[in-house]
Chain A
Amino acid sequence: AQSVAQPEDQVNVAEGNPLTVKCTYSVSGNPYLFWYVQYPNRGLQFLLKYITGDNLVKGSYGFEAEFNKSQTSFHLKKPSALVSDSALYFCAVRESYNTDKLIFGTGTRLQVFP
């Protein structure tokens, strides 16, 4: 079965510093990976996805993610964090080629301090 793991419950970073939110995956075929962000009292917003092609994927709000097949990772990154980036981040994997079901990680809370 497909799964994703987010090893950190919380990540703290100072504003202006680079940030990384980690995600590793386990799939039986080609991985289809997604990052979502959830701001307080709001639904999930799509950030970016990896389906195929370039390993570095660029998304919304200046975020990017690097797909690393050998390390089975899909870490979310941003060169310079903003206080407004503070939110809950979810990594997700599509269950298989033939379904639309998303499997979500447990989430990582990002806290950016001024």
Chain B
Amino acid sequence: SAVISQKPSRDICQRGTSLTIQCQVDSQVTMMFWYRQQPGQSLTLIATANQGSEATYESGFVIDKFPISRPNLTFSTLTVSNMSPEDSSIYLCSTEITGGRSSYNEQFFGPGTRLTVL
């Protein structure tokens, strides 16, 4: 398993500002994922972040709005840029402990960052 922590746990931000969310894993992992969970809705994958390469964004999400860093095998950040009230969500990071791409292992999730944009 993996223990994942996120900072901050919650924040209230003003429109037009940016927030960087940190995700720390207690072991080295290849792939990290960032999800968004809007109020009362399911999880939507924002992007996949592999160490040493550019993040891969899902349809509807762009790097200018959600820049991601992956400086090493235990850490990643997601920035929510130029925020609007529509960005109010819970943002979760996750990872998967794999022995190979076909391992079909479960993903482990951080506790989430609850963002409110005024």
Report A's interface with B, CB cutoff 8 A.
32, 34, 36, 41-46, 49, 51, 90, 94, 97-98, 100-102, 104-107
User: Interface centre among B45, B107, B110, by most A CB within 10 Å?
Assistant: B107
B31 on the A face (CB < 8 A):
yes
- 1/0 contact string of B54-98 vs chain A (CB within 8 Å): 000000000000000000000000000000000000001010101
Known: A42-B111, A43-B112, A98-B101. A104 touches B106 (CB 8 A): no
B41 touches A106 (CB 8 A): yes
Alpha-carbon separation in the docked complex, A43 to B34 (Å): 13
What is the size category of the interface that chain B forms with chain A?
20 to 34
Measured between beta carbons, the chain A residues less than 8 angstroms from B109 are 36, 43-45
Top 3 A-B residue pairs of the complex, sorted by shortest distance between their CB atoms? A43-B109, A44-B109, A46-B106
Q: Which of A41, A44, A101 is within 8 Å of B92, CB to CB?
A: A44
| Cross-chain pairs A/B with CB under 8 angstroms, 18 sampled | A32-B104, A43-B109, A43-B112, A44-B43, A46-B106, A46-B107, A90-B42, A90-B43, A98-B101, A100-B31, A100-B96, A100-B101, A101-B45, A101-B48, A102-B43, A102-B107, A106-B42, A107-B41
* Complex Cα gap A107–B110 (Å): 18
Complex Cα distance, B98 from A107, in Å, reads 26
12 new A-B contacts, CB < 8 A, other than A41-B114, A43-B110, are: A42-B111, A42-B112, A43-B92, A43-B111, A44-B94, A97-B102, A98-B101, A100-B48, A100-B107, A101-B48, A104-B44, A105-B42
